[in-house]
Amino acid sequence: MRPDGTGRRWLLLVVLALCAAFLGGCQKDQTWKLGTPAPQITLFDKQDAPVKLSGYRGDVVVLRFWSSGCKDCVAGMPALDRYAQKYRSRGMTVLAVNMGESREVVQKFVGTMNLRYPVLRDPELIAAKKYHVTSVPTTFFIDRKGAARLMVPGEVSQQVFEKAVDALL
């Protein structure tokens, strides 16, 4: 160490930087990727009751992130409803996750669309962040064991949807 104390200050700065890097790394989900267990999330139904993704383990889950201001999202909702009805008896569940809108906005939207699958809310965008969603619509296909197998940004065609679900059922 140098007599003027610069060595100690330098060592202290290095130790603080390492601690910050270590602690910061613990809070981030840096390891998640397709093919591994999907991040566990809690969403809210139309009565603001919590709904956990883990509650659907054993089903194939189609997790669709959307917003009512997204024209493609809105246009794709009726087709998603038809797919949900078609595959429900075979063990597939569609969960539509609204990103950041109020309970009232989501309820009004669902009422006008007459959707028959669960429409949930992610008011603080926690689930969207865990899934690294950067645009809507974004759809994840999750297998019966809870691993996300496919991510489709943008609208999902009927051919892609059916091929993905058939492969997981």
Predicted TM-score (pTM) of this structure: 0.81
149, with CB counted inside 10 A (0-12, 13-18, 19+), is middle
Average pLDDT over all residues of the chain: 87
Which domain covers residue 83, as residue numbers? 31-168
The secondary element (H helix, E strand) that includes residue 11 is helix 6-26
Residue 169: closest CA among 94, 90, 93: 90
Q: What is the CATH number of the domain that holds 133?
A: 3.40.30.10
Q: What is the pLDDT of residues 49-70, one digit of tens each?
A: 999 999 999 999 999 999 999 9
Rounded-to-integer distance, Cα 155 and Cα 140, Å = 12
Tokens linked to 8:
């100690």
Of the chain, the end-to-end C-alpha distance in Å amounts to 65
The number of folded domains in the chain is 2
1 and 62 part of one domain: no
Average pLDDT for 83-107:
96
Question: What is the structure's pLDDT at 19?
Answer: 41
Is the pLDDT at 16 greater than 50? The verdict is no
* Residue range 137-162, pLDDT digits in tens: 999 999 999 999 999 999 999 999 99
Beta bridge partners of 44: 50, 121
Instruction: Identify the pLDDT of residue 22.
Output: 41
